[in-house]
Structure 1
Amino acid sequence: MPILDLSLERQSYSVKVCASLLFECALGIAAVTYTEIRDTLERTTSEWDEIILRLQSEAKHELDYCAKHNTWQALLRLIHGSNSTHIDEFLDYLSTITVEEFRFQVLPPLEGIQEKDLRLKAASGDRDAVAKLIEAVANHNFFSTYVPFFLNEDVEKLKKHLIFLMKSWYEAAITPRKSEWENILQRELTSKQDMQSRLSFEAFIEWAIGATYVPEPGERNVLLVPHISYRPWTIQANLSDTKVYYYPVSDESLFGMNDPFRPSASLVLLYRALGDENRLRILKILHEKDRTLQELTEILDLAKSTIHHHLTLLRSARLVISNGTTYVLKPTTLQHAYKQLEAYFECNV
């Protein structure tokens, strides 16, 4: 019997876990140059300072340049584009990549069927494409400055900057702990690959990154990249048809089973966030109703930068979320705070 097929093709997805010390290096650079979140990171200030002391003065200058222009984002995109697994291989790739390919790799993908064509034209210097791309990201908090910078800055200068920065940070931060971190990342890969076979696509991603995952239009692939340096934060980014989550390795992968008395990173972060008078005041204010940053500043009579710092800590502990222009309390995190502590005390040792 002839069949008239009116069904829609079902969207197929794939999820992959990929670990590399190259990503660890780039994310370490991202973390050390983002001073606003330094207090929320698990690595202490003294640990960061120790790494910086091992850098040459020229490398410190390149770190400042990176902080100003967020060139770490370009490093991450270039690592994906190169498919490199070793530092020498990646540095060779950076030194030989063409101007057009460099710009195409570092530019973020946009929504729309013709977005790849637009990026290709902009990367080759087409003025109309450049103008359209800059206009498309004009209202984006991050890319409104990032895209124009990478379209206008001299590419050879950028390549030299990234090569020197990547090589210097790798030697100072990665090499001293290379073997240890390789073992941690391998444990993480093994545990995630084992669980991937047991869960659905969405459930596995949510379990891995600790947040609700909702597929986006045109998104066919999800790449999970575990990291150590940026713990406890998860960073999300987009490649062409791929959503990337750089997520913190689990406590089990990081510490193994050698210290049964060690609390989880999330538990430490939660109670660190709660252990401050002004942060508790913010939580009580948000318990009454959602508030903007300006409203919190006026109520607490504190500097806006101070309030923003406290909100960053509260967000990292998942006590508060940003809902557009307002901040919202997550009561379930507070409700479960004691349960997490209780679970830690009752854990078999």
Structure 2
Amino acid sequence: MNVLDLDVARRKYDIRIDSSMLYECALGIGAFTWEQVHDKLDIGQAEIRRMNEQMSAELRQEVQLAGSHHTWRSLLFLLHRCPQLQDEPQHAHLGIFTNWIHELQDDIIAKASPYLGDAQAELLHRALAGSMAEQEKLLQIHADNPVVYLHLQFLFSTSPDRLLGHIERLMTGWYQEMLRNGEEVMQILERAAQETKKLALERSTEDVIRQITRGGELEPEPGVSVLWLIPQLAYRPFTIRNHLPGSAVFYYPVDEDHLTDTRQQKVFASIAAQHKAVGDIHRVQLLKLLSMSPKPLADLAEGIGASKPSTHHHLLLLRTAGLVSVRSGVYELNIDAVASLSDGLYRLLNLDPS
């Protein structure tokens, strides 16, 4: 007898929520060195220029290496693998981290390497042990992904001492030179993490992911049982995803509520985000396409004559503003949010829309 069981329980996840200035540093370096997204970041291009002008020559050299070989990703993987980090107050994180990486010695390259999935774990292990054949095989596998390719290429060619020195100078330099108003940033991140912990107690996992990623859907992934949620400011309004063994990591943007102190500032931020989202002809074209029917990414990219990565960036801005949502890879228009777009500005300016 063929049986179709409709009483399927939702997949259960363990949720881990952390915050640290060190994650903010690593993500900040990643955002700073990815010039293609500078015009889309909330931080603004003027602030990025200021950071570039303020940077010391010593830090600039390390940041350039981090940008050319994506070693900021090694910072993230090391932070996730640092066992003592989340048990201590944030003020102690930098000292704990630098002491720990010195203890790693020759093992630092393995700890700083990316997670490529269980299927490639043994291949990566042999490559890091010095197998030229396995190194070449991995580089061929990831030849179409320059971020992973260049990161692996650096790890395969560097020495433990060189990597240790680079990681220490990069993290310490960015922490000391680039984090403005560090105490305020620390408090913002901690408030955001506490709010997410509260949300996780009250809502379903799917609702938590949808809210903190501003409309993203939780897609089941084989072998993933832990969702690691980390608030960040550097990449706002984007959510950055990462993977570790058994875990999916979401570096999610801090909500506007944690950035502003007055109701008026919150209104300003919301209205600015919505109008910024429609301030591009491609995004207006996407809204038009979605007004006709929900569509997957491939159809939308074809409809506006753009690449999938470019279309995805446009859709992410529309999702951040609440104008578009996505479920199971299909995007749809949030009609009520679009309808209220002009009303919010009218109300702010005390104008009569009639």
Instruction: Give the TM-score, by structure 1 length.
Output: 0.78
* Alpha-carbon distance in 2 for matches of 1:282, 1:249: 26
Give the gaps of 5 or more residues in structure 2. Answer: 1-7, 349-354
The correspondence for 2:247, drawn from 220, 232, 242, is 242
Change (3 A) 1:99 1:263: farther
Are residues 341 and 162 of structure 1, via their aligned partners in 2, closer, same or farther at CA, if it must alter by over 3 Å? farther
Partner of 2:149: 144
Question: What letter corresponds to residue 79 of structure 2 in structure 1?
Answer: I
SS of 1:106's partner is coil
> 2:274: which partner in 1?
270
Aligned to 1:107: 114
1:97 maps to which residue?
104
2-side partners of 1:94 and 1:144: how far apart?
24
**Stretch of structure 1 that moved more, 202-211 or 259-268:** 259-268
Measure, in 2, the Cα distance between the counterparts of 1:54 and 1:200. Answer: 44
Provide the C-alpha distance between the structure 2 equivalents of 1:120 and 1:269, rounded to a whole number of angstroms.
44
Deviation digits for residues 37-72 of structure 1 (CA, Å, limit 9, x no counterpart): 001111122222223333211211222222211111
CA 1:63–1:102 in 2, change beyond 3 Å: closer, same or farther? same
Identify the match of residue 165 of structure 1 among 151, 166, 170. 170
Correspondence for 1:34: 34
Q: Greater relative contact order: 1 or 2 (C-alpha under 8 angstroms, separation 6 or more)?
A: 1
Task: For 1:144, give the aligned amino acid.
Answer: Y
Change (3 A) 1:93 1:285: same
Partner residue in 2 for 1:24: 24
Q: How far apart, in 2, do the equivalents of 1:332 and 1:28 lie?
A: 31
Q: Does 1:296 align with 2:301?
A: no
Which residue pairs with 2:257 in the alignment? 252
Distance 1:158 1:266 in 2: 42
* Counterpart residue number, 1:227: 232
Q: CA deviation at 1:308?
A: 7.8
Structure 1 residues 345 and 204 mapped into 2: Cα distance closer, same or farther (>3 Å)? farther
Farther-moved stretch of structure 1 (187-196 vs 313-322): 313-322
Q: Distance in 1 between matches of 2:325 and 2:154?
A: 30
Distance 2:136 2:175 in 1: 36
Q: Which amino acid aligns with 1:339?
A: S
Q: Report the CA distance between 1:96 and its aligned residue.
A: 3.5
Taking the TM superposition and a 5 Å limit, the aligned residue runs for 1:75-224 are 75-83=75-83, 84=85, 86-112=93-119, 115-140=120-145, 142-174=147-179, 176-210=180-214, 211-224=216-229
Distance in 2, matches of 1:332 and 1:11, equals 28
- 1:10 and 1:317 map into 2 onto residues whose CA distance is 29
Paired position in structure 1 for 2:3: none
The 3-state SS of whatever aligns with 1:194 is: helix
Contact persistence 1:227–1:248 (CA under 8 A): yes
Q: 1:321 to 1:345 in 2, by over 3 A?
A: closer
For structure 1, the 5+ residue unaligned runs are 1-7, 298-303, 323-327
Please tell me the residue identity of whatever aligns with 1:47.
E
Counterpart Cα distance in 1 of 2:219 and 2:244: 16
Cα distance, 1:14–1:344 mapped onto 2, change above 3 Å: farther
Q: Give 3-state SS (helix, strand or coil) of 1:262's partner.
A: helix
Cα distance between partner residues in 2 of 1:221 and 1:71: 25
* Separation (CA, whole Å) in 2 of partners of 1:10 and 1:272: 37
Following superposition, the deviation at residue 81 of structure 1 comes to 1.1
1:339 is matched with 340
Contact 1:287 1:329 in 2 (8 A): no
Q: Deviations over 1:199-220 (max 9, x none)?
A: 1222222222221002200001
Assess, with a 3 A threshold, how the Cα gap between structure 1 residues 12 and 98 changes in structure 2: closer, same or farther: farther
Asked if the contact 2:291–2:333 (Cα under 8 Å) also holds between the matched residues in 1, the reply is no
Aligned pair in 2 of structure 1 residues 117, 44: CA closer, same or farther (>3 Å)? same
The 2-side partners of 1:200 and 1:321 are apart by 18
Go from structure 1 to structure 2 and tell me whether the alpha carbon gap of 1:344 and 1:79 turns closer, same or farther (over 3 Å shift).
farther
Task: Give the 3-state SS of the residue equivalent to 1:230 in structure 2.
Answer: coil
Shift of 1:130: 3.0
Cα deviation code 1:132-165 (max 9, x no counterpart): 4334434445323322332223332232222212
Distance in 2 between the 1:339 and 1:317 partners? 14
Q: Secondary structure at the match of 2:305?
A: helix
Number of residue pairs matched by the alignment: 324
TM-score, scaled to structure 2: 0.77
Please report the RMSD computed on the Cα atoms of aligned residues, expressed in angstroms: 3.6
- Work out whether residues 222 and 244 of structure 1, in 8 Å CA contact, stay in contact via their aligned partners in 2: yes
- Structure 1 residues 276 and 294, CA gap change in structure 2 (3 angstroms): closer
Identity, % of aligned positions: 24
Secondary structure at the aligned position of 2:333 is classed as helix
**Kept after mapping to 1: 8 A contact 2:242/2:248:** yes
